[in-house]
Homo-oligomer: A and B are copies of this chain.
Amino acid sequence: MSAPALTKNQALVFDVLEKADGPLSAYTILDKLRDHGFRAPLQVYRALEKLLEYGVVHRLESINSFVACAHPGENCHSHGIVAFAICESCSQVMEFHDHEVDQRLMDWTRSKKFKAEKTTIEIRGLCEACAA
């Protein structure tokens, strides 16, 4: 599932996300790309679908937004579960990985014979700067 060359639309969407300093909603991305010919949400969603598949973009379920992966060049899917800390004030996102957490969750799923497909870990709160 590594990333092949991106199509034009995929590259445009990825570029917007990479240059953004925080997560963006699909419609925000759409607005930013109107000058590049984007007219409809599907253009964004279809690109996002692929970018998510390639592991270069993450979806933040709790805020219906998307963010470029913090590991440019690498395939994030190989890092285990991805966790996010999302500042509700400045909307900065920190991405991290904790193998111990992965292990505990995998232990649980194995004990329940639950076949995990996609795991979401999102911590919402205030970053150091905003909490002060």
Residues of A within 8 A of B (CB): 61-62, 83, 85, 87-88, 94, 96, 98, 100-101, 104-105, 108-109, 112-128, 131
Contact = CB atoms under 8 A, between A and B. Distances in A.
Given A101-B101, A119-B122, A127 B108 contact: no
A95 B104 CA distance: 15
B128 A117 contact: no
B105 A101 contact: yes
13 contacts: A94-B112, A96-B108, A100-B100, A104-B104, A112-B127, A112-B128, A113-B127, A113-B128, A115-B126, A116-B123, A117-B124, A118-B124, A119-B121
A124 B114 CA distance: 9
A86 B1 CA distance: 24
Nearest to A59: B62
B125 A115 contact: yes
Nearest to A94: B112
- For the complex of A and B, the 8 pairs showing the least CB-CB separation, nearest first, are A113-B128, A117-B125, A116-B125, A115-B126, A115-B131, A61-B62, A120-B122, A61-B61
Contacts of A113: 127-128, 131
Given A87-B114, A101-B101, 8 more contacts: A61-B61, A85-B108, A94-B112, A101-B104, A104-B104, A115-B131, A118-B124, A119-B123
